Amino acid sequence: MEKKVYRENIKKVLSALDRCTYEQNSYLIAKQLNHLQEFQVANTIAVTLSRFPEVDTWQIIRKGWDLGKRIVIPKCFPKTKTMIFKEITSFTQLESVYFGLFEPIEEQTVEVQKALLDLIIVPGLAFTEKGYRLGFGGGYYDRFLQDYTGCTISLAFTQQIQEQLPIEEHDIPVKMIITENGVINCEEQ
């Protein structure tokens, strides 16, 4: 119940963002990500396709393609609450699935194994400076990250950074969070 209340509150705050502030802050976050060594050295980057008012990841995907990076996005399986990542080379390889989310078209994309993912950009609604996150409620990333050893970064507006969140034993913190105001190295907090 506590997580549900946190989710509702953060969604309200994010929904109040005006479009110009949203665009500017998404741009500043993407610019900082582009300059991070972890992004620059990553060959394969896993990222979700954002929906307003999440930080815009579409521009990050375009930048990755421009730099010759392999971009992979999640394909979720609601019955088992699991996911895999599939490479996309064009936005035309996407289809709208449940809740208006975009996922890779099965026949047009190829799965990329977890061990080949250099960087995972982990989505979330709220974060602590120690890297713990409140997701959207499916638990997909918590399960996927359990045995992942690569780099994890989350993108967040400053309004999404909270002093505390309900944390459970299985929650796995991300290594960094990028906001419009800078990079938070969660392992140093």
Whole-angstrom distance, CA of residue 174 vs CA of residue 185: 9
φ, ψ of residue 109 to 5 degrees: the values are -135, 160
Short-list 110, 36, 31, CA closest to 63: 31
Nearest 5°: CA angle at 50, between 119 and 37? 25
Number of domains comprising the chain: 1
Q: Note the pLDDT tens digit of each residue in 48-81.
A: 999 888 899 999 999 999 999 999 999 998 898 8
Q: Note the pLDDT tens digit of each residue in 131-150.
A: 999 887 778 898 899 999 99
Structural domain boundaries, residue 92:
2-188
The CATH number for 50's domain is 3.40.50.10420
